[in-house]
């Protein structure tokens, strides 16, 4: 690990020199004067005085050498539509969208709220905002009206860009009624809503605020909109973190630092080269979509694949056929998606020609060992985990294969990435934890380029939320538990706010899930903490079986449940044993594949789960209810 250690140490000990070198990866219209301004901790300003533009670096910069290379491949298994856009064609579409936005009053520094499904216009709109110097705030398509209204009030957009409808699993989701209700609820009055009419909704609203995109696109078909050159620390976008209670928390990102960090990550972490094709199976409504569907691949001159659909429609082989058809080199998804695919016919994977695929990357939640072993064996390709947050914008833990081909360790997303001064700390004292001791994963000041610069409109909230929870130290808290080994590899054990306190013993739900997942009968599992009158809290496990029919009989099922309890006893001790193992046919998840643990816990305690705007399949809640009654 000599090469990696020297590389990482330089990024921590001399960040100014390190990031000055990395900044050469992007175009600066005006050179920066100062690499790092740390005069106002915990705030950090990168590449101060430098002027650049994300859209120029992602699109215009490549026209001289790769105008005819595909920049975007769009595939929708919901509508059957597939489109390809070269860099030249992408440049033209972004200019048209920018001209339309400009005609509707969008200027430098204005906020545009983007509420779209996974369609090319979502990418055009994001890049058009960047081109104009406007700030985009993408809200996941299909979010419920109250949540959308809260984001409208916080971001105060001058324009909303939406579509008549999205589609998921063959179901059409009408957007315009949601926008209409959100605008009625919101205190901030957005003057215009730009509508992308896909002609999917059975009926569309004809409200006075709606403006059709297509006629304006034709009007500005040959438009050329010059890039606004922004100072590096001006905001590029605001992205609201999911699961936030109370007032929405907008993660604010800068321009220059974000561009540099993403460009560096494409070499050091993803090993992406200009001309490669990258398929990130996420959504532009989440940070993974922002960074690795839109900006990073284009900054590095790759072709990015944008997919509307599920991993099992029309069947469980669709993603593997996409790899074959589009000669995809790099693929990025979440462990949950793989657990879904693991239950599909293995012949579907074996049928596809995956020779173009070099690496599969995973993030979004901890990667369990059974899933990691299965997919690595099935693909015969490197499977590389990584760990990060909406707040960091790019991976803070990874295997930096572009620096040194370090080995992977099952259960660990890797070692700290360049610029991340990572320390596991005792939650009570703030002292660093020795190797092998569980602690809160923290980052020392300053955060590297690409990380959030503040909470939108609320600097004090940035300080009080992220920099004030560890005793005796002003460090950034990820609010995640972890363990770091002697080699520097970190294993994530779950959220600090998902810790269960059972009779004075603190247990991470993640640890219990790992134990249950090791049982051969288990396909998926979620462990939640529920109120217990005797112990304070107790763990309750909800399990999806690989073969439910085999355990349909009462005696057989009871024996399995006892066996699962014993598995936890054996791996973690009796204190970690769940109070109950509930067998269900499916678990409630968001549309991005994350488990809705708080909703499960609410049902387990006899409470209603409340508003769940991003739930993938509402019938999963009923499955949990029925499992609890069995």
> Which tens digits make up the pLDDT trace of 610-627?
766 677 787 888 889 988
508 and 475 in a single domain? The answer is: no
The DSSP annotation for 134-198 comes to -EEEE--TT--HHHHHHHHHHH--SEEEEESEEEETTEEEE-HHHHHHHHHH-SS--SEEEEE--
Domain extent at residue 91:
2-309+386-480
- Mean pLDDT over 202-227 rounds to 90
> How many domains does the chain contain in total?
2
Residue at 577 is within a domain: yes
Q: Count Cβ neighbours within 10 Å for each residue of 117-137 and write b for 16 or more, e otherwise.
A: bbbbbbbbbbbbbbbbbbbbb
Q: Are 119 and 85 in contact (CB under 8 A)?
A: no
Where does the pLDDT of residue 245 fall: very low under 50, low under 70, confident under 90, or very high at 90 and above?
Answer: very low
**3-state secondary structure (DSSP) of residue 537:** strand
pLDDT tens string 98-139? 999 999 999 999 999 999 999 999 999 999 999 999 999 999
N-to-C CA span, the chain:
52
Assess whether 145 and 278 both reside in one domain.
yes
Structural domain includes residue 592: yes
Residue 314, in any domain of the structure: no
Is residue 168 within 8 A of residue 591, CB to CB? The reply is yes
CB atoms within 10 A of CB 171: 10
CA separation for the pair 541, 504 (Å, rounded): 20
Residues 456 and 594 occupy one common structural domain? no
**Pair 517, 569 in one domain:** yes
Task: Note whether 323 and 317 are within 8 A (CB).
Answer: no
614 part of a folded domain? yes
Same domain, 476 and 510: no
Same domain, residue pair 76 and 156: yes
Tell me what pLDDT residue 532 has: 79
With DSSP H G I counted as helix, E B as strand and the rest as coil, what are the percentages for the chain, rounded to 5?
A: 35, 25, 40
Q: How confident is the model at residue 470 (pLDDT cuts 50, 70, 90)?
A: very high
Q: Are strands 230-231 and 210-212 parallel, antiparallel or unpaired?
A: unpaired
pTM score of the predicted model: 0.85
User: Would 180 be classed as within a structural domain?
Assistant: yes
Chain segment 293-338, per-residue pLDDT in tens: 999 999 999 999 999 999 999 999 999 999 999 999 999 998 888 9
24 and 166 fall within a common domain: yes
Residues 80 and 155 in one domain: yes
Over 60: is that where the pLDDT of 140 sits?
A: yes
Whether residue 454 lies inside any domain: the answer is yes
Length of the chain: 630
Q: Which domain CATH number covers 413?
A: 3.40.50.12780
Question: In angstroms, rounded to a whole number, what is the distance separating the alpha carbons of residues 295 and 57?
Answer: 9
Please check whether residues 24 and 56 belong to one and the same domain: yes
Q: Do 431 and 524 belong together in one domain?
A: no
List pLDDT tens digits, range 559-612: 999 999 999 887 777 778 899 999 999 999 887 677 888 889 989 999 888 766
Within a domain: 496: no
Same-domain pairing of 279 and 399: yes
Q: Looking at the domain assignment, is residue 329 inside a domain?
A: no
Q: Residue 475 — φ and ψ, nearest 5°?
A: -130, 160
Which CATH number goes with the domain that contains 572? 3.30.300.30
Domain boundary among 480, 512, 530: 480
Contact of 299 with 276, CB cutoff 8 Å: no
Give yes or no for a contact between 231 and 32, defined as CB atoms under 8 angstroms apart. no
Shared domain check, 212 and 90: yes
């Amino acid at each position: 690990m000599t090469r990696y250690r020297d590389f990482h140490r330089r990024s921590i000990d001399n960040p100014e020199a390190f990031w000055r070198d990395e900044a050469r990866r992007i175009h600066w219209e005006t050179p920066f004067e100062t690499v790092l301004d740390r005069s106002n901790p915990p705030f950090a300003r990168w590449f101060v005085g430098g002027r650049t533009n994300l859209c120029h670096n992602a699109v215009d910069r490549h026209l001289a050498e790769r105008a005819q290379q595909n920049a975007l491949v769009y595939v929708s298994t919901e509508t059957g539509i597939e489109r390809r856009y070269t860099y030249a064609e992408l440049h033209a579409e972004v200019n048209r969208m920018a001209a339309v936005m400009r005609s509707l009053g969008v200027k430098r520094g204005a906020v545009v709220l983007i509420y779209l499904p996974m369609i090319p216009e979502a990418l055009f709109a994001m890049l058009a905002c960047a081109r104009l110097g406007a700030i985009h705030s993408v809200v996941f398509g299909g979010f419920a009206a109250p949540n959308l209204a809260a984001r409208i009030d916080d971001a105060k957009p001058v324009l909303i860009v939406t579509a008549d409808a999205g589609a998921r699993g063959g179901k059409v989701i009408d957007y315009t009624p949601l926008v209409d209700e959100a605008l009625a609820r919101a205190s901030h009055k957005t003057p215009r809503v730009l509508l992308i009419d896909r002609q999917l909704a059975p009926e569309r609203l004809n409200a006075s605020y709606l403006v059709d995109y297509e006629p304006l696109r034709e009007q500005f078909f040959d438009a050329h909109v010059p890039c606004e050159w922004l100072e590096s620390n001006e905001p590029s976008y605001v992205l609201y973190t999911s699961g936030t209670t109370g007032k929405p928390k907008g993660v604010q990102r800068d321009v220059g630092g974000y561009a540099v960090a993403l460009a560096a990550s494409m070499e050091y972490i993803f090993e992406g080269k200009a001309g490669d094709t990258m398929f990130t199976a996420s959504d532009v409504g989440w940070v993974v979509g922002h960074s690795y569907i839109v900006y990073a691949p284009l900054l590095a001159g790759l072709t990015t694949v944008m997919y509307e659909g599920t991993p099992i429609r029309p069947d469980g082989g669709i993603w593997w056929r996409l790899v074959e058809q589009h000669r995809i080199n790099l693929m990025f998804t979440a462990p949950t998606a793989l657990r879904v695919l693991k239950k599909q016919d293995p012949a579907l994977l074996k049928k596809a020609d995956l020779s173009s695929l070099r690496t599969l990357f995973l993030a979004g939640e901890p990667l369990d060992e059974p899933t990691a072993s299965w997919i690595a064996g099935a693909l015969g390709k490197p499977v590389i985990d990584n760990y990060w947050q909406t707040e960091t914008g790019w991976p803070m833990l990874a295997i930096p294969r572009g620096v040194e081909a370090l080995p992977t360790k099952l259960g660990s997303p890797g070692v700290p990435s360049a610029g991340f001064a990572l320390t596991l700390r005792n939650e009570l004292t703030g002292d660093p934890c020795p190797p092998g001791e569980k602690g809160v994963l923290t980052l020392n000041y300053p955060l590297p380029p690409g990380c959030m610069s503040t909470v939108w409109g609320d600097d004090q909230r940035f300080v009080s939320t992220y920099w004030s929870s560890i005793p005796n130290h002003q460090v950034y808290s990820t609010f995640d538990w972890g363990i770091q080994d002697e080699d520097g590899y970190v294993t994530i054990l779950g959220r600090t706010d998902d810790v269960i306190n059972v009779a004075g013993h603190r247990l991470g739900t993640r640890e219990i899930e790992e134990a249950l997942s090791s049982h051969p009968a288990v396909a998926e599992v979620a462990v939640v903490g529920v109120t217990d009158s005797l112990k304070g809290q107790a763990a309750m496990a909800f399990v999806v079986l690989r073969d439910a029919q085999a355990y349909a009989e009462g005696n057989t099922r009871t024996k399995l449940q006892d066996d699962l309890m014993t598995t936890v006893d054996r791996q973690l001790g009796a204190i970690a044993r769940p109070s109950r193992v509930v067998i269900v046919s499916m678990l409630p998840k968001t549309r991005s594949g994350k488990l809705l643990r708080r909703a499960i816990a609410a049902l387990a305690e006899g409470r209603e789960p409340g508003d769940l705007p991003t739930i993938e399949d509402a019938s999963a809640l009923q499955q949990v209810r029925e499992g609890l009654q069995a």
